[in-house]
Structure 1
Amino acid sequence: MRTLAKPAPPKPETKTTAPSRTPSIAAWALATRLSIAIPSVSPRCLRQRSPPPPWASTALAGGPPMLACRYGGRRGGRSVDGVLGRDGDRPNEARGVSARSRSGDGRGRTRRGRARHREKRQRAHDLHATHPHGAAGGAGLARRVAGEKLMADRDDPFGANDPPARRGSLVIVGTGIRTVGQMTTEAVAWIKRADTVLYLVGDPIAEGAIRSLNPEGARSLADTYVADKDRTDAYGGMVDRILACLRAGDLTCAAFYGHPGVFVSPAHEAIRRARAEGFEARMLPGISAEDCLFADLGVDPGIHGCQSFEATDFVLNRRSVDTSSAVVLWQIGIFGFATHKQGSYALPAMSLLVEKLERIYGPAHAMYLYDAAVLPGCESIIRQIVAADLMSEPLSIAYTLYVPPSRVADPDMDAYNRMVALNAAYKESGEE
């Protein structure tokens, strides 16, 4: 009978076995965070004490925190490397966490470990559910994404190619006089895109339109006005709020009724200060009350010319007028006032404006009070008056005064003859 040889006793396991190749930190992170088997690395290596970083004994050991983050330190209060823990390169065993607590059964885990385990399982489930090739395709996608991130970290250890911090910028737009229908497509697009929209409009329909375009970011500037306080104080408050949004990194859109550059001093001041602080800032055109006036009165400023003045400035600064050209006087309804007031103004100084107009045009010259229509379906207000009627007419803050030319322009015949001669000489020279 054949006798069977006794099997050789098993060799005792030694704890000093070391892998032939020490895995890189990139391999540790990839294997631990994604549970991907790497054939050239023994799993036992992951339980070995990690070697000190290559810069530990150099001047870089005391370098910027970004270096520690790249090699397993902490960023934002949590560990970046899946193997290295809270204490730099100290392994988990040194902190009293057993290998079992890192195993897949979930028993003995710390709270953070259980949360990571659930997150990892959820990522795997999502990849399996969404990838067209199932779990295998999802795992491949995870490997590619992780590999690209690790290569980027290796090639850019100092984070020079990280996305720049968000920087604020400013766009100032006009909503037109009748917002529904006159707000430009470009203004609508910027209001929708902005992080914060600061607006100042004159009617609830315009306010509702802006809020519907950007419900979360729309903020009114109307509360900067205080009754019986200087309007320049309110303008300064508007500028300060616009600049505060820029400094917070917001793409800021400031929307003003009419044209944002016509009698809107805070718009110009906000752009000036924003550019002085290094922010990008620009203004987009809108439809002003003067544009509506030209359309409603049938006036072409290219025929006789047009001069525009603020009504109070027109009197106080002795503005000279060419009576062969039209004159537009803005803010006729707040003549002589620098403070804000709810409702209409009493205008005790209006006699000064009447005197100047009668001195220039005479008492019988026809003029037009104009108030552009704000709401859809409404008509603009156009009333023909003479200068003296300004003392008794009820005026709102939106009124504008249009003064037509009172005489025909005096042609300069000498300049005309010289122009004809110069054009004829140029034509004969054959240089056309």
Structure 2
Amino acid sequence: MGARQGVVRPCVALFVCWMAAAGPAHANPSLEPQVVEIERLSINQHWRESAARIEALAAQPVEMSAEQRQRVEFVRLRNLGIAGAPRDAIEGFETLLREPMPAPLRVRAYTTAISIAANVEDWSLAFRWLSEALAFLPEAPGESARLLGVASYLHTLVGETGKARELALRGLSLVEGGDDPRAICHAMGDVALAEDHARHFTEAERWRHRQIEACSKAGDRIFTANGKYGVGKMLAGQGRPAEALTWAREALADFEAAGFDAGAWSARLVVADSLIATNRELDHAHDLLTDTLRYYREQGSDLAIAETEHLFARLAERRGDLPLALQHLKSAGSASEAAERMARERQLAYLQVEFDTRMKEQQIALLEAEKELAALQVTATRRWQWLLAAGLVALLATALLLTILLRRSFRERRRYRWQSEHDSLTRLLNYQQVRKDGEEAFDRARREGRPFTAIVADIDRFKEVNDRHGHAAGDEALRSLGTWITEEVGAQGIAGRSGGDEFTILLDGDRDQAQDLLRRLRGRIEPVTVFGHTVHFSISAGICQANGHATTLEQLVHDADQALYRAKYEGRDRTVCTSDAPPDAREGGGLVVVGSGIEFGRHVSERCLSEIREAQVVFCLTDPFALAMIQGFRPDTINLGVYYADGKDRRQTYREIDAAIMAEVLAGKRVCTVFYGHPGVFADVPHAVVRKAREAGIPARMEPGISAEACLYADLGIDPGRRGVHSMEATHFLHYDRVPDTAGLLLLWQVALSGDLSCTRFHAEREGLQALVDRLQRWYPPDHEVILYEAARLPIESARVDRVALRDLPDAHYEEYTTLVIPPLGELRVGGGADPVGDPEPGTGPTR
């Protein structure tokens, strides 16, 4: 900052960093280590570290004592001051200081609050809080040094540098030789600041070096960085810019590492000043000044703005741009005027709090007169500057500046628009822009009666490319394919990346032209080399030409996508064309019924996923979580759950589901139907549609899945081979004369719907459950322990295993899928009336 007055505002903010060690033990010792850790982190780490610990502590159910809460709140408010929210911090301190609290903590809170009030230039509040804090010093003599430090700082700001130096030295004498290294660090910083503002550069530099040494030992990162900043500033003031540049850059790095923005901006000014003085990196100095000026204007720091504008003027003068230098000098004059007003307001606030005599009134009147005179002088200076800046030079400079700004703005808008419309990897249009441009082209082609064709293509077995060669190889394959598509399509159509490894091309032409384009594209595909590995790949594509059946672009692309699935199904590395007319009812169709398992993410098999991907039509009757995952990679999946409704006969629902599936199967399409769990266990529709398809001569098969029964054996630790299993639907057990084998395991499914012959209920009714209990008590005692079981459907869930007495079943909680597990009763008996025996030892049964 050279020999001129330094920027005050970052130094103001620096005083927010004052904070003492933890207080005495409190009412809740279990939380005390966490509170102490929060206080420690706020001193020697980035403020976000202590803020994160405060949030974690607030989430704990254990309640803090009143003093612990006040200490944590003190750190939170201090963090607000550092993070750039001083007004919120002041409002919080006003609330905190109204509460009863120990005197040492209160004085520490006053010290930090005074610093923040000065930071926002609320001088009346700062001096009032200083006056209030002095009343508590007799109860907290250990905090005297801190309060003397902040008093020294306020006297520095009102120009009382002699008094400021006296107060700072008194504070240092109280802590020097003590066992509080951080207090010594702060006290030395106070003395250095007073010498700085008294323009004793050599003496201030000496104190700054002592501050750096003391603060480094104390582990105070922000005050250590402040010391380095002060050394750089003093060196600049003594005409040693090269040395000042080194110190300022170190300070800037340390401030940024500590998250102290105000100090970082102050250090940037010293860096810029030193660069200008040494005539080095002037462009970098210009960038630093531009960012700094924007920051201080946002903060409303007039003195800092004036300082920055003066440096801008020096930079322009160094570059030989005198009109621009004059313009910055004019702006510096305006900011200096506002800064002088603020300085007089500080002096007025100081006098209003410090004096109650007639001399106070005379000084205030004199300051106000000086204020008016200074305002007149600044007005005269401004007029003189405007006269000098008037004329052709100012007009030409303004026109040139506007032209540069307009050109830059136009380039930026064009660049941002391009980025919003294109895929960054392939540089093709993104999905949204392809659909937007495609809608216009599709409508135009329909109006003019011209052919229009959609192509959907992707890389064959792209996942294997990523898995085997790494994502860098996959990215290179996508990038190369995007380049070849761009060159082949040209102005003939619209090309874009739809997502993942899938591409969409929309052509103003017919399917023959689309096939020619794909042949040329395949001819250009060649292996790519990444990190010494050569990767070979091919593409599959689907083509659909709009011939009147497809009335929307969405439908046209969907049909092309279905053609792509056919290309995959028929062996990949090929092109399949589709037409608007439905396919022949017997050509290439088929049905496969697969099971999703109970936890889709864990239980689904690769075979099941392959069938879902390759099918032309996918139906799904699963839980909502599995449905959402399937729709993630097959958005056209049809949800069969919509056929269910409260009060609706489930047999009618089954008939409607059956009809929906068979309509697509009989239309000659490859249909995949996904059912929850195992599709062949306690499910009528899967068996029915497989049977009907086979009767119609259409290939149909069923792929197994993990059932709830399989999960039951695993979760309950039951081996069905030990005692045998009797498994049936609960209503079936009630309705028919079935006799359970009490020596074996009895499983009753859908127990919540017991007795529902209407097939309309989805919830449990006590009457049906009581009827089931009454029937079971023919063979089992009322106090026999049974299990209500529900398999987990998500990895984050646990299976439900509730053990209750048989008699209590009517009052238990049920879901539609709750299973009743009745353990064996009594011992097994050997055939022929022999004595009862226990279970055979594991491993003695037949090998399975």
Shorter-chain TM band:
0.5 to 0.7
Cα pair 1:200 1:222 within 8 Å, conserved: yes
Residue segments in structure 2 that go unaligned for 5+ positions in a row: 1-507, 526-583, 835-848
The corresponding residue for 2:779 is: 360
Q: Distance in 2 between matches of 1:237 and 1:358?
A: 39
| Aligned residue among 616, 619, 635 for 1:198 | 619
Q: Distance in 1 between matches of 2:521 and 2:643?
A: 55
Q: Distance in 2 between matches of 1:278 and 1:205?
A: 35
Q: Which one has the bigger helix percentage?
A: 2
> Which secondary structure does the structure 2 equivalent of 1:361 belong to?
coil
Q: Deviations over 1:196-215 (max 9, x none)?
A: 1101112x221111112322
1:339 aligns with 2:759: yes
Q: Distance in 2 between matches of 1:383 and 1:266?
A: 31
Q: How does 1:215-254 map to 2 (within 5 A)?
A: 215-216=635-636, 218-254=637-673
| Aligned residue among 165, 178, 185 for 2:606 | 185
1:395 aligns with 2:814: yes
1:213 aligns with 2:626: no
Q: Give the RMSD, CA atoms, in angstroms.
A: 3.0
Percent identical among aligned pairs is 34
Q: How does 1:119-138 map to 2 (within 5 A)?
A: 130=523
> Which secondary structure does the structure 1 equivalent of 2:817 belong to?
coil
The corresponding residue for 2:152 is: none
> Which secondary structure does the structure 1 equivalent of 2:710 belong to?
helix
Q: How many residues align?
A: 266
Q: Distance in 2 between matches of 1:292 and 1:390?
A: 22
Q: Which amino acid aligns with 1:284?
A: E
Shift of 1:125: 12
Which of structures 1 and 2 has the bigger CA Rg?
2
Question: Alpha carbons of 1:223 and 1:406: their partners in 2 closer, same or farther (altered >3 Å)?
Answer: same
Q: TM-score, normalised by structure 1?
A: 0.57
Shift of 1:349: 2.1
> Which secondary structure does the structure 1 equivalent of 2:642 belong to?
helix
1:307 aligns with 2:726: yes
Q: Distance in 1 between matches of 2:830 and 2:681?
A: 32
Q: TM-score, normalised by structure 2?
A: 0.30
The corresponding residue for 2:589 is: 168
Higher RCO (CA < 8 A, seq sep 6+) = 1
Q: Which amino acid aligns with 1:208?
A: A
Q: Which amino acid aligns with 2:640?
A: L
Shift of 1:341: 4.5
Cα pair 1:261 1:268 within 8 Å, conserved: yes
Cα pair 2:618 2:672 within 8 Å, conserved: yes
Shift of 1:124: 11
Q: Distance in 2 between matches of 1:175 and 1:382?
A: 23
Q: Distance in 1 between matches of 2:708 and 2:518?
A: 61
Q: Distance in 2 between matches of 1:123 and 1:390?
A: 70
Runs of 4+ in 1 over 4 A off after TM superposition: 122-132
Question: Alpha carbons of 1:219 and 1:131: their partners in 2 closer, same or farther (altered >3 Å)?
Answer: closer
The corresponding residue for 2:790 is: 371
The corresponding residue for 2:712 is: 293
Q: Distance in 2 between matches of 1:125 and 1:277?
A: 38
Cα pair 1:336 1:347 within 8 Å, conserved: no
Shift of 1:164: 11
Q: Distance in 1 between matches of 2:778 and 2:522?
A: 85
Q: Distance in 2 between matches of 1:312 and 1:238?
A: 23
> Which secondary structure does the structure 1 equivalent of 2:635 belong to?
coil
Q: Which amino acid aligns with 2:733?
A: F
Question: Alpha carbons of 1:362 and 1:277: their partners in 2 closer, same or farther (altered >3 Å)?
Answer: same
Question: Alpha carbons of 1:278 and 1:368: their partners in 2 closer, same or farther (altered >3 Å)?
Answer: same
Q: Distance in 1 between matches of 2:826 and 2:714?
A: 23
Cα pair 1:176 1:183 within 8 Å, conserved: yes
Cα pair 2:753 2:768 within 8 Å, conserved: no
Q: Which amino acid aligns with 1:394?
A: H
Q: Distance in 1 between matches of 2:830 and 2:806?
A: 28
Shift of 1:352: 1.3
| Aligned residue among 689, 696, 700 for 1:277 | 696
* Range with greater deviation from structure 2 (204-213 or 279-288): 204-213
Q: Distance in 1 between matches of 2:638 and 2:521?
A: 44
Residue segments in structure 1 that go unaligned for 5+ positions in a row: 1-114, 133-162, 416-432
